[in-house]
Amino acid sequence: MPELPEVEITARRLGEALAGATIATTLAPGINALKTFDPPLHALDGRQIEAVRRIGKHLVVDVSGDLHVLCHLMSAGRLQLYDKRASLRDRTSRLLIRVDGGNGERELRLREFGTKQAAWVKVLTPEGLATDDAIATLGPEAWPDPPKDLAALLKPVGARPLQAALRDQRVITGIGRSWVDEILWTAKLSPFKRANELDADEAATLRAAILERLGGAIAHYEDVVHLPIPDKLPLPLQVHRHHGEPCPRCGTTIEAVHYEDYVLCYCPEEQTGGRVLKDRRLSRLLK
């Protein structure tokens, strides 16, 4: 799933390319993706794109006349700019915003891979954007200025493990499965440490790790990601997806805990006091 760094670089690149462009026509071939009907999608036609920005993991296209296109890519969506219009045979298309660029060919296209069709789009007024549940329920942004006192922020979360609390968008927004592994590894904190047991020093270390890893990823993307935005971004991961490889710092084998739809990766030497955590797959087999 695209997380804060991936959504941020997408917003930057699209914003650079589309600011001031006029929307010619709009179309939603993936009708399930469009979650609003008032204002209608065609209310965007003829208006100018003012900016593309990020709120948490959401993309927002600001359009003249006080309209906003709110988009969540979910696990398999991509918002990309093309120089040619989509073929009618392209079954990945969910939303097409055709932009008047002189030759009339440019197209901002929401595509989604796989079969879940979970990505969604809403056309909203400023009031609708501010009060939409997807936005109104978000916690503070994880970047560029995460909360100064993370221990206080996480205290009400209770005994939930850090890896779950940091991925809860109502607690802090922007971090997902990939970057939570990277952040906790950088901070040398166990993914299963209880969120409400974080002391002041650990909280400061965690905040510094959030800034380092998310900011570093965005800086990396600034150097290597250009239009057209690739389907798969070159994530600068050191632990996540590196199960079975040596830890980049100490050389200990990176271990993993497998869940139904994702994998948590960590260094046992530096994060769990040398303990290898129980793998859920084996636990299920032994029942």
The larger pLDDT score, comparing residue 116 to residue 140, is at: 140
What is the number of domains present in the chain?
2
Residues above pLDDT 90, as percent of the chain: 85
CA dihedral 31, 34, 36, 42 (to 10 degrees): -80
Q: Assign residue 104 a region (left: φ > 0; alpha: ψ between -120 and 50; beta: otherwise).
A: left
Angle (CA) 9-11-16 rounded to 5° is: 95
Please tell me the predicted confidence (pLDDT) of residue 269: 97
Q: Does 190 map to a domain?
A: yes
- The CA-to-CA distance between both ends of the chain, in Å, stands at 31
- Least Cα distance to 183 among 18, 38, 4 occurs for 4
Residue 126 is part of which domain span?
4-136
Q: Does 62 map to a domain?
A: yes
Please tell me the predicted confidence (pLDDT) of residue 103: 55
Among 79, 104, 136, which residue terminates a domain?
Answer: 136
The larger pLDDT score, comparing residue 114 to residue 190, is at: 190
Q: Do 102 and 154 lie in a common domain? A: no
Please tell me the predicted confidence (pLDDT) of residue 278: 78
In this prediction the pTM is: 0.93
Among 79, 105, 136, which residue terminates a domain?
Answer: 136
Question: Does residue 234 contact residue 211 with C-beta atoms inside 8 Å?
Answer: no
Q: Does 48 map to a domain?
A: yes
Q: Which of 17-31, 105-119, 140-154 has the lowest mean pLDDT?
A: 105-119
* pLDDT confidence bin for 281, thresholds 50/70/90: low
Find the mean pLDDT for residues 194-205: 97
Structure tokens, 154: 């996480």
User: What is the per-residue pLDDT across 12-41, written as a single tens digit (0 to 9) for each?
Assistant: 999 999 999 999 999 999 778 999 999 999
Please tell me the predicted confidence (pLDDT) of residue 287: 33
Q: Does 219 map to a domain?
A: yes
pLDDT at 116 > cutoff 90: no
Sorted by sequence, the CB contacts under 8 Å of residue 210 that are 6+ apart come out as 142, 143, 146, 175, 183
CA-based torsion, 278, 280, 284, 287: positive or negative: positive
Question: Does residue 249 contact residue 270 with C-beta atoms inside 8 Å?
Answer: yes
pLDDT at 170 > cutoff 80: yes
Q: Do 280 and 160 lie in a common domain? A: yes
Q: Does 14 map to a domain?
A: yes
Find the mean pLDDT for residues 78-86: 91
